[in-house]
Structure 1
Amino acid sequence: MSNTQGSSSHGKLVAVVVAAAVVIILAVLSAFVWPGWAIRHDAGQQDQQNEQVAERPSTPSIDAVALPEDATELLKAMPDSVLNFARTAADASTDWSDASPLEEYTMTYSTGEAAEDVTLTVAQWSTADSSKAQYDALAGALSGEELGAGDVKVSGETKGSYVARVDAADDTKAVAVWQNDTAVFRASGAEEAVMDFYMAFPL
């Protein structure tokens, strides 16, 4: 008789434990899986993730200024436009004359809004080693917060490096410098404009 009672009590205990385990599992599932009442939902964060960021237009609303008839091959290689930036000026430059480039130019690319103008300086050397020395000097002189850096690759082959930093003299502006084989480029202007411009620049 006592054995029967013991078995019955043991069976009831097991049933209670199993039932409790089922309740706990259901509670956990309800809290964290569906409907998920225990998970914190940040409406602001969700809205931010769903917010559509407007893309910069891919074509300019103003015409590019024509290059002179005697433009060199380097100058001719410069694009008429980058995204919605059109070339509005192209002049010989001597900013980097101490580094003895073969040729050097300073150009302005504009959206039509002066605040978004990007100034581009480009120069070419006879060897990649010479252009790298100039790139290293320019990149080393930048001291603002880094916005991006990496290798410049052409057809999968590394041809140089790039770096973009906040302009140390004005934190609303940025400077990007990159080397592509024997040429070196420097773009400067408003931070957002420079970042969009140099990331889309074809050379």
Structure 2
Amino acid sequence: MSNTQTSSSHGKLIVAVVAAALVVVLALVSAFIWPGWALNKGDGASSQGATSQGASQNASEPTTPSIDAVALPDGASELLKAMPDSVLNFARTKADASTSWSGASPVEEYTLTYSTGTDGQEVTLEVAQWSQDEDAQGQYDNLTGAMTGKELGSGNVKVSGEATGAYSAKTDPNDETKAIAVWRNDTVVFQATGAKDSVRRFYQQFPL
């Protein structure tokens, strides 16, 4: 009887451990890889006036692309596969390996272009991943430290209410019609550049 009880308890313990591990894995997948995870770029320092103006402008802009997304290259990594086909009316038109941030030794890095099909509205997205979050944080600090334009927004990136990084968006100091947005989510760093209105709409709705 004692041996039977011990075996039963051991079996229940294994089931409980496996179930707990599965919950953790599903949480990670839904938080980063699964489309539509909750990214909060609204907990920031941008002014109410700018936020209201941006919301008004966004309401009148199309939310679906008028052009088809270009397929990813064969053998694309999980990071590259996580990049969306489209963001609002911006469709992915290019995706290439990159070495722009090679000095920071990322594990992998890519340059992507998203376009509405209208010249001058393209957004260039640089994305890279590191093995340690402190290395990603270092690259984020370097990029944002070099941004000297007018602030468009800043704050925390949140997943399910938990801060996983930060973001900062500023105008290009050499051309106020253009902007730069940088954000970090755990071990991944993103930088979006292009026309100010395009960048502002793009980074606020980017799902990663």
Give the TM-score taking structure 2 as reference length.
0.72
- Offset at residue 58 of structure 1 (A): 1.4
Secondary structure, aligned partner of 2:99: coil
- Offset at residue 54 of structure 1 (A): 4.7
Distance (Å, rounded) in 1 between the aligned partners of 2:58 and 2:130: 40
Distance (Å, rounded) in 1 between the aligned partners of 2:81 and 2:104: 22
**Per-residue deviation, residues 51-82 of structure 1 (Å, max 9, x unmatched):** 99752211100000000120000000000000
Match of 2:117 among 112, 116, 132: 112
**Per-residue deviation, residues 178-198 of structure 1 (Å, max 9, x unmatched):** 000000000000000000000
Match of 1:154 among 151, 159, 177: 159
Secondary structure, aligned partner of 1:59: coil
Aligned ranges for residues 1-203 of structure 1 at < 5 Å? 54-203=59-208
Counting aligned pairs with the same residue, the percent is 65
With over 3 angstroms needed to count, the CA separation of the structure-2 counterparts of 1:72 and 1:147, relative to structure 1, is: same
Distance (Å, rounded) in 1 between the aligned partners of 2:71 and 2:58: 33
Distance (Å, rounded) in 2 between the aligned partners of 1:202 and 1:55: 21
Secondary structure, aligned partner of 2:135: helix
- Where does structure 1 differ by over 3 angstroms across 4 or more consecutive aligned residues? 51-54
**Per-residue deviation, residues 4-34 of structure 1 (Å, max 9, x unmatched):** xxxxxxxxxxxxxxxxxxxxxxxxxxxxxxx
- Larger Cα-atom Rg: 1
Task: Give the gaps of 5 or more residues in structure 1.
Answer: 1-47
Secondary structure, aligned partner of 1:116: coil
With over 3 angstroms needed to count, the CA separation of the structure-2 counterparts of 1:136 and 1:53, relative to structure 1, is: closer
Secondary structure, aligned partner of 2:63: coil
- Offset at residue 128 of structure 1 (A): 0.8
Distance (Å, rounded) in 2 between the aligned partners of 1:114 and 1:100: 33
Which structure ranks higher in relative contact order (CA pairs < 8 Å, sequence separation ≥ 6)? 2
Question: Counting strand residues as a fraction of each chain, which structure ranks higher?
Answer: 2
- Structural RMSD (CA): 1.6
Distance (Å, rounded) in 2 between the aligned partners of 1:169 and 1:53: 25
User: Counterpart of 2:155 in structure 1: which amino acid?
Assistant: G
Distance (Å, rounded) in 2 between the aligned partners of 1:91 and 1:60: 21
| Count of aligned pairs | 154
